[in-house]
Amino acid sequence: MQQKTTSPLHTVSPLPVLVIAREGDPFSGLANFYSGATRGTQKVRSITKKDLKREISILDHGDRAFLLAILELKKAYEIRDQFDLRRSWEKALPLLPSPWPGSRADEIEQREFFATFFSQTPDWAKFAVAQSSTKALEDARFVLWFSDKEQRFSPAVYCPNLKTAVFLKAFLGEIHVCPHCSKPFIPSHKGSDYCSPEHRERYRLIRWRARKRAEAAP
Ligand SMILES: [Zn+2]
């Protein structure tokens, strides 16, 4: 039997996320998926894992807070942790659209009420995360790009602004938020949920204590 040779189909390569390259930026190719002499010859760069940390830091303060809140809520739902869900909802509520008309999730008392209410029914998080994330990605465009560097066509996502690109990278799993310090970090391997082993241990203790308190409550 003839041995199978590796074909490009069997090579897993990350989906390039493209933005227009700023003056002086290294670039990955041209926006050749656009017709027209002006747009089609604009330089684009593919956001790499290496420069993602810098891209997060230059996000607008509100966009950054929104992204981190959504990522925390997403994680809390994925692991179905009541304590994490409650904490994430408290942070996310002032940043999300009102849960329903007339509610004032930006007021402390209301926020506590809704955070408790939503965390007791985890499916609320599923809808909130899916809808808010999709809205944040609405400017992204799926394209077929010819990469001059790799000399091949490649499906890619073109983002007209950095915010959309960073959000997309985050939803592709390239940005995590540490549950202990709430800071974003680029995971070195799949499954690293904390920025450091120290924060993992500290947070486990906090969560354990919160569970004990909840069990002891009348
Ligand atoms: Zn941390």
Q: What is the pLDDT of residue 6?
A: 41
Q: How far is the CA of 205 from the centre of ligand 1 (A)?
A: 14
Residue 169: other Cβ atoms inside 10 A = 23
Q: How far is the CA of 35 from the centre of ligand 1 (A)?
A: 45
**Mean pLDDT value across residues 135-148:** 94
Q: How far is the CA of 206 from the centre of ligand 1 (A)?
A: 13
Q: Is 154 helix (H, G, I), strand (E, B) or coil?
A: strand
Confidence check: pLDDT of 121 > 50: yes
Q: How far is the CA of 10 from the centre of ligand 1 (A)?
A: 36
Quote the CA–CA distance of 198 and 168 in Å, as a whole number. Answer: 29
Token reading at 126 = 């599923």
Confidence check: pLDDT of 109 > 80: no
Confidence check: pLDDT of 10 > 60: no
Q: How far is the CA of 47 from the centre of ligand 1 (A)?
A: 24
Give the pLDDT band (50/70/90) at residue 68.
very high
Q: Classify residue 10 by its DSSP letter.
A: G
**Mean pLDDT value across residues 176-199:** 90
**Mean pLDDT value across residues 4-16:** 54
**Mean pLDDT value across residues 135-160:** 94
Q: How far is the CA of 160 from the centre of ligand 1 (A)?
A: 31
Confidence check: pLDDT of 4 > 50: no
In one-letter notation, the amino acid at residue 135 is K
Confidence check: pLDDT of 159 > 80: yes
Q: What is the pLDDT of residue 130?
A: 94
Place of tokens 């420069």: 51
Q: How far is the CA of 180 from the centre of ligand 1 (A)?
A: 5
Q: Indicate if the alpha-carbon torsion angle 86, 88, 91, 97 is positive or negative.
A: negative
Q: How far is the CA of 184 from the centre of ligand 1 (A)?
A: 8
- Stretch among 126-135, 162-171, 176-185, 189-198 having the lowest mean pLDDT: 189-198
**8 Å CB contact between 156 and 169:** no
Give the pLDDT band (50/70/90) at residue 214.
confident
Q: How far is the CA of 42 from the centre of ligand 1 (A)?
A: 39
Q: How far is the CA of 89 from the centre of ligand 1 (A)?
A: 19
Give the whole-number percent of the chain exceeding pLDDT 90.
56
Quote the CA–CA distance of 160 and 198 in Å, as a whole number. Answer: 38
**Mean pLDDT value across residues 201-217:** 89
Q: How far is the CA of 166 from the centre of ligand 1 (A)?
A: 20
Q: What is the pLDDT of residue 70?
A: 95
Q: Show Cβ contacts of residue 25 under 8 Å, excluding neighbours closer than 6 positions.
A: 43, 45
Beta bridge partners of 189: none
Quote the CA–CA distance of 194 and 72 in Å, as a whole number. Answer: 12
Token reading at 157 = 């996502």
